[in-house]
Amino acid sequence: MHKVYFLVGGNVNNTRLKYEQLSILFQKKIGKITASSQFYKSPPWGFNSPNPFINWAVCVETHLTPPRLMKETQHIERLLGRKKNKTVQYEDRSMDIDIIFYDNISWNTEDLHIPHPKMHLRNFVLTPLFEICPFFVHPVMKKDITVLKKECQDNSVVTAVALLE
């Protein structure tokens, strides 16, 4: 079994039902969720939008390889309304699923980079991860989440929220 940390979220149609569906899809297609953070609200990163993001960190035990895991997460994104615009890097989205860590490995191909290459620059990633794995050590940077969070220069406000129906 492999331990994988994900950051999931979106800034369109953020309802409790969508995240319940996401949780069910994770359990059916990826593996057992062993830890999860609260939900966190943050402003968009890398583009302007009036819609805040809701982010959620989860840890999942899986048998899937990194490439297969990426295929499954992209399928789940589409099931939950994600439509990718190939001409724009950052945009409003219903669901985005990022693989942050996969065990303690470093995996770099054209399509997949693990650990996530920008995770240490983003407060909206570090805050929920800090809740579920503060002492997990980044396999490349050799610093735990607590240190990465302290060193992060992203000053965007990330707040815990309750999802409405």
Give the integer Cα–Cα distance in Å for 113 and 36. 22
Q: How far is CA 103 from CA 10, 63, 139, in A?
A: 25, 12, 9
What's the pTM? 0.93
pLDDT at 16: 86
Structure tokens, 150: 């302290």
pLDDT at 92: 81
Among the listed residues 87, 90, 92, 77, the one whose alpha carbon sits nearest the alpha carbon of residue 122:
90
Give the integer Cα–Cα distance in Å for 57 and 70. 16
pLDDT at 87: 62
Q: Is the pLDDT of residue 112 over 90?
A: yes
Structure tokens, 31: 């593996």
Q: Could you read off the pLDDT of 55-99 as tens digits, one per residue?
A: 999 999 999 999 999 999 999 999 998 776 666 567 788 899 999
- Stretch 128-137: mean pLDDT, rounded? 98
Q: Which domains does the chain have, with CATH numbers?
A: 2-161 (3.30.70.560)
Q: Could you read off the pLDDT of 34-43 as tens digits, one per residue?
A: 999 999 999 9
pLDDT at 164: 63
Confidence of residue 163 (pLDDT cuts 50, 70, 90): confident
